[in-house]
A and B are shown apart, each in its own frame.
Chain A
Amino acid sequence: MHDDDFVDDESSKNKLFSRGASIYYLGSMIFIAGIALIILGSALIMFFRLSYTSELQEILLTIIPIALGIILILLGINLMMKQSRKGYAILTLSIIAVAISMFLFLRFYENNWYYPQIGYVFGLYVSGFLLLLGNTFAGSILYIIKSNKPVYSPTEDKEPVHLYTDDEIQKDIEEATRKSAEAAVAELQFNDVQELPSDIIGVHISETPKNITRVKDRIAEVRSLGQTLSPGMTEKWGSVGIDKASDALAKTLEPVKTKKKGFFQRIKEKYFSDNTKKDTKKDKKVKSKEKKTKKNK
C-alpha cells in the first residue's frame, strides 16, 4: 500500500486541513449555488408555465439555471471530497465540456437549433455531466474504503519507552547468567561417580552403629499431596468421587423424617414389648422404694 493512503502522520493531517479550508468552503458554496439555481429554474418553470408554445427567452431562462445547477451541485460535491491530481483533471475537463456545451446552446438555440448542432451540444453536456458523476462515484467509493480501513497509527504500535534502572539491568544479567548456568549444569555428566579417590585404601563401615530413630507414622500426607498436585489422578470426574459427593449432599439436604407410629404398633410397644415391661417393672420397684423411704422418714 502506498504511503499516501495513510491518514496518520501529523504533516499529512495539516496538509488535509489547509486544503480543506479553501477548497472545502468553495465546494460547499458551489454546491449551494447549484441548488439555488435548480430552485430558481424550477420556480421559473412554474412562473412561465413552460410548454411547447412558450417563448424562446422563457425556455432559455429556465433551462440554463437547471442545467447549470445540476453541474454545479456535482462540482461542489467533488470539490468537497479529497481529490487526486487525476480527479482535478477530470473536473477541469468536465467543466470545459459543460461550458462549451452551454456556450453552443446559447449560440445555436435561437437560430440554428437542429441536428447535428443539437447532438454536439447535448453530447458535450452529457459527457461533462457523466465525467462529474463518475468522479463523484469514484471519490465516494474511495472514501468508503478508507473510512472502513483501520486507521494506522504508528504511535499506538510503539511500546511505551521504559527506562531501565541499574537494579533492573543487574537483575536481568543475573537471570540470564542463572539460566545459562542451569543449562550448563544440566548437561554435566560426572564420569567418576562410582569411583573413590585412589589414596583411599579401605573403608570401614560395616559394623558402625547408626543413629536410628523410629517413629510411628503412617504419613497420610502422601495421599493428600497426590490429590493436591494432580487432583484428577485418584478419582475421576463422574466416577466414585462425584458419587460420594452427591450422596453426601443428598443426605445433607434430606429433611429428618420422623415416622408416625401406627395404632397397632403403639399398642404392641406399650403392652407386648420386653423393654417396656422391664421398664415398667423397674419403675414400679423404684416407686415402691421411694414410698418405703418416705414412710421410714
Chain B
Amino acid sequence: MAKGLDIGTMNIICAEKDREDIVFTQQRNAFMELDSSDLTKTMLDISKVLYIERKDGISLLGEDAFKFATIFEKEARRPMTHGIISPKEKEAIPIMKLIVGEVLGQPKKQNEVLYISTPANPIDTDLNVLYHKKTMEMLTKGMKYDTHVIDEGLAVIYSELAESNFTGIGISVGAGMTNVTLAYLATPLMSFSIARGGDWIDEQAARSTGMPKEHVTATKEKISKLGKDVKMGSVEGALTVYYDALMTYVIKNLNRKLAEITPPNVAFPVAIAGGSATPAGFFELFEKRLREANLRVDLAKIKHVKDPLLSVARGCLIAARTQEEKGRQLQKQQTQTTTQTQTKQTTKKKK
C-alpha cells in the first residue's frame, strides 16, 4: 500500500487507498503553547486534544491549536512559512515530526512507497528549498517509508490532467507559496514557485482593512464567492483585490519563465489546485486572467478542480502507486528471468 503526503504550510494531508476509496487524513500544520497545569491537562484529555507535554508547558498541535488560539485570543504558531520549514521556529522540526507522524501513521509494510510534495525553487526570494526537502525526506524515511519527492505542481498534473496524457500546466496555490509546473507527457519541463500564496493575501487584506489576520483567514475560508459586488471596507472586497493581484503576479512570472524554455507546440490545459484555490469564483477569475494574459504557449481548457485542497495529496498518491506498480512489475520480471535461468540450468544438468 502506497501513500501520498502533501506537506503544506497550512495543512498536512495524507492520501491512501482503501479498497474503492481514497482516504484523506488532514491536520493543520500549527501549534500553540499553553502553561501547564493539572486542570489544563485534564481538560485537554477530556477534549481528546492532540498535545505534547514539555517541562515548561504544553504545546497543542494541529487543528486544535487553531481552535484554542481563537478561544485564548492568542496567535497559533506555524512550523512552516513560505512553503518551507520556518527558520524562526526552533520547535518546527519536532512539531512537524509529530504532526506528520500522526497524519501518516506507521507503514503497513517495510519500505512502503511514499511520495511527498515539496515546493519548487522560488524565483522571487532567496529562499532555498533544498534543506526543507532533505529534512522532510529524512523525517519520513526515519518512519521506515521509501520516500520520494515530487514538485507540488507536478502532483497537480498527475491528479488532474490524466485525460491530456499528463501534459499541461499544474498550479498549486497554497498558503505559503504558489507552485507552477509545466509538464509534457508527465515529464516536467519547467517548475518554479512564488513566495506568495494565501498567507500573503491574508496579510495584505488585513493591512488594508485593519482587521486581525486570523479574522481575515477565517473570512477567506468561509467566503461565499469572490466578486466585485462587495460592501465598502469589507474583508471580502480586499480579498478579491488581492486574489486578483496574486493571479496577475503568477501569470506574469509564468510568462517570464516560459520565455526561458522552448515548449512543444501543443495546446496546454491548465489545472489549478491548492488550499487557497477553494473560494467560489476563484477559477472563473483565474481563467479570465489567463485568457487575457496572451501567454507564450497555447492554452487548452482550464480545468475546474473538484477538490482543490486534496488535489496535491491525490497526485502524490498516484505517483506513489505508479512507483509501487512499477516496482512490482520489475520484481515479477526478475523472478521470471531467474526461474527461466533455473529451468535452463536444470535441463542442462539432466542432459
- Which chain A residues have a beta carbon within 8 Å of chain B's beta carbons? 178, 181-182, 185-186, 188-190, 193-194, 196-197, 199-205, 207-226, 228-230, 233-234
Q: Is the CB of A203 within 8 A of B166?
A: no
Given that A204-B50, A228-B186 are contacting pairs, would A220 and B24 also be in contact in the complex, using a CB cutoff of 8 Å? no
Q: Is the CB of B128 within 8 A of A181?
A: yes
Given that A193-B142, A222-B322 are contacting pairs, would A213 and B26 also be in contact in the complex, using a CB cutoff of 8 Å? yes
Chain A residue nearest to B319 (CB atoms) is A225
Indicate if B21 sits at the interface (CB-CB under 8 A).
yes
Indicate if B292 sits at the interface (CB-CB under 8 A).
no
How far is B18's CA from A181's CA once the two chains are assembled, in angstroms? 39
Additional 19 contacts, C-beta under 8 A, given A205-B50, A222-B318, A230-B326: A181-B130, A185-B131, A188-B138, A193-B142, A201-B53, A202-B52, A204-B50, A205-B98, A205-B101, A211-B27, A214-B22, A215-B24, A217-B20, A219-B314, A221-B159, A222-B321, A225-B158, A225-B166, A228-B186
Query: Once A and B bind, how many residue pairs between them come within 8 Å at the CB atom?
Result: 133
Chain A residue nearest to B140 (CB atoms) is A193
Q: Is the CB of A204 within 8 A of B130?
A: no
Chain A residues in 8 Å Cβ range of B251:
none
Q: List 16 A-B contacts (CB under 8 A).
A: A185-B133, A186-B134, A193-B141, A200-B53, A200-B94, A201-B53, A204-B44, A207-B48, A211-B63, A214-B23, A215-B307, A217-B20, A218-B20, A219-B22, A225-B318, A229-B322
How far is B327's CA from A233's CA once the two chains are assembled, in angstroms? 11
Mask: chain B, 53-64; 1 = CB below 8 Å from A; 0 = not: 111100000110
* Minimum CB–CB distance for A220 against chain B, Å: 7
Chain A residue nearest to B313 (CB atoms) is A213
Interface of A, helix, strand, loop or mixed by DSSP: mixed
Q: Is the CB of B318 within 8 A of A185?
A: no
Q: Is the CB of B52 within 8 A of A224?
A: no
Chain B residue nearest to A222 (CB atoms) is B321
Given that A185-B133, A224-B165, A229-B322 are contacting pairs, would A215 and B22 also be in contact in the complex, using a CB cutoff of 8 Å? yes
Chain A residues in 8 Å Cβ range of B326:
226, 229-230, 233
How far is B332's CA from A233's CA once the two chains are assembled, in angstroms? 11
Chain B residues in 8 Å Cβ range of A217:
20-22, 314
Given that A193-B142, A219-B317 are contacting pairs, would A233 and B186 also be in contact in the complex, using a CB cutoff of 8 Å? no
Chain A residues in 8 Å Cβ range of B24:
212-215
Chain A residues in 8 Å Cβ range of B299:
none
Q: Is the CB of A211 within 8 A of B25?
A: yes
Q: Is the CB of B166 within 8 A of A228?
A: yes
* Minimum CB–CB distance for B291 against chain A, Å: 27
